[in-house]
Structure 1
Amino acid sequence: MTLLDQDGVRVTVDGPVATVTLCRAEKRNAQTFATWRALAAAGRALPGTVRVAVLTAEGPSFSAGLDRRAFTPDGLPGEPSFAELARLDDASLDEVIAGYQEAFTWWRRNDIVTVASVRGHAIGAGFQLALACDLRVCADDVEFAMRETSLGLVPDLGGTSPLVALVGYARALEMCATGRSVRAEEADRVGLANLVVPAADLESATADLVAALLAPPRDAVVETKALLRSAVDADPDAQRAAERAAQARRLRDLLGTED
């Protein structure tokens, strides 16, 4: 079932699996503000039966980042230019950027597990979109890079937190400040990639991971994801209490007893 097909984003649902596809292959899946609105709409439209969402892309590149027209004086057609955005007051500009960020935030919600299936370029906004997902299966031709600083900007689409969590502060700073490319072997070694496979095997490897994620009972995965997400910042005593509460809910659910 096709749930959405607009502005370079197509969403299909097959039982418990949703597939979100970037489909501007002729532009290396460069993103526009309209792309971000469509991605945000995709998150809102997913039915409650979906357990796993796969993010993929048509063509040889996952996403080359923000459409270069955004950086021209006229900006993207029908959209505010960067110059117009810069003239907004603080509250208005904050609201605009928050709206863009919505495309990158729903992927971490606890009721689904999200998997980015990444080949070729994942640059800037493309890198941040891959980082938005819980897991990343990468082809051996992958190339990650955070190029925002070379443009005088910062990565502002939710990518800083997962990047630091995955590779650590010092390595994240070095990657962002230099804008250098991170290729498959390094991505695998430093934890950006959960799995690296030959490009020809990317689709089948992603499907195998999805099948494994669907094997356990849904509520156990949901509770575990919530625990792992809270573990980074939680006080150890609070985290253990959360584990106890979650386990109590699972035991009662499995045994059919009342609270």
Structure 2
Amino acid sequence: MAAEPLLVERAGAVVTLTLNRPEARNALDTETLRALARAVRDVRRAGDVRSVVLTGAGDKAFSAGADVGAMAAMTAAEGHAYSRLGHEVFARLEELDVPVVAALNGVALGGGLELALACDLIVASERARLGQPEINLGLIPGFGGTQRLALRIGLARTRELVYLGHMIPAEESYRIGLVNRVVPADRLRAEAAELGATLAAKAPVAMRQAKRATAFSAAGLAAGCRYEIEAFGLTFATEDRSEGLNAFREKRAPVWKGR
């Protein structure tokens, strides 16, 4: 019996999703993408999940990207549908109201890097290597890489990665702002779990609005600032705002109610 392509674990308010095809370097075939879509749907429906950590099984790959063997057998129409599926799944992940942490335990290439880019924060093992090598296969990134890379690191560096198709090490990725942290390989999962727990402990309504407001920046400064004003007003009307201010003055930990 084939193993599940995606493992789902929950610890308190944190859900960990693990791409589980280590023999294929956690390649993103159609089955894996659909499993990820179901997991994202379940997180959204649960209502009490506060953060998500996404990683890969094994120590060699977060995800090497698309399943090249499967792609080689696709027609042009099937390739188009495959790209659309990836875009839809990654958009649902990106639009979750809770923060998502990508923990890169190895290479993150092509669709694997694009998956990480759909997450809010990226923590990389010191052994990780990142890149968009599709140009070397006569293709371009098909799961949002040309757009999300530019939003994260700017157009010039995006063109360099996409046009040249080479890999860059974790430290270089950190230097250019592609990843948020680089940690020792043997500390990656613990660091990601700790970060997930820290995020989960924040005020739920404020976190939701913070995520929406920062995402709105892609619409331009004026539109983003208009949204921020409304989001700030919304959080100011919550019980959590009163609790947070009172807890600060009373020098105690806040007890969030999520309303």
Report the TM-score, using the length of structure 2 for normalisation: 0.84
Q: Does 1:160 align with 2:157?
A: no
More displaced 10-residue stretch of structure 1: 18-27 or 247-256: 247-256
More displaced 10-residue stretch of structure 1: 6-15 or 169-178: 6-15
Q: 1:149 to 1:117 in 2, by over 3 A?
A: same
RMSD of the alignment, in Å? 2.1
What does the per-residue CA deviation read over 1:166-218, in whole Å, with 9 as the maximum and x for residues that have no partner?
11101101101111111111011011111101101101111221122123211
Report the TM-score, using the length of structure 1 for normalisation: 0.84
Number of residue equivalences: 237
1:250 pairs with one of 235, 245, 258:
235
Equivalents in 1 of 2:79, 2:105: separation in Å?
33
Report if aligned partners of 1:15, 1:49 keep a CA contact under 8 Å in 2. Answer: no
Report matched runs for 1:196-235 at 5 Å.
196-235=182-221
Equivalents in 1 of 2:95, 2:69: separation in Å?
32
Equivalents in 2 of 1:235, 1:125: separation in Å?
29
Report matched runs for 1:46-195 at 5 Å.
46=43, 47-60=46-59, 61-72=61-72, 75=73, 82=74, 84=75, 86=76, 88=77, 97-195=83-181
Identical-residue share of aligned pairs (%) = 36
Equivalents in 2 of 1:6, 1:37: separation in Å?
15
Can you give the 5+ residue segments of structure 2 that lack an aligned partner in the other structure?
A: 243-259
Equivalents in 1 of 2:82, 2:65: separation in Å?
19
Q: Does 1:41 align with 2:26?
A: no
Partner of 2:246: none
User: SS at 2:192's partner residue?
Assistant: helix
Equivalents in 1 of 2:225, 2:25: separation in Å?
45
Equivalents in 1 of 2:224, 2:152: separation in Å?
20
Equivalents in 1 of 2:218, 2:27: separation in Å?
32
Equivalents in 2 of 1:119, 1:93: separation in Å?
28
Report if aligned partners of 1:6, 1:38 keep a CA contact under 8 Å in 2. Answer: no
Can you give the 5+ residue segments of structure 1 that lack an aligned partner in the other structure?
A: 76-81
2:225 pairs with one of 240, 243, 246:
240
- Residue type matched to 2:58 in 1? G
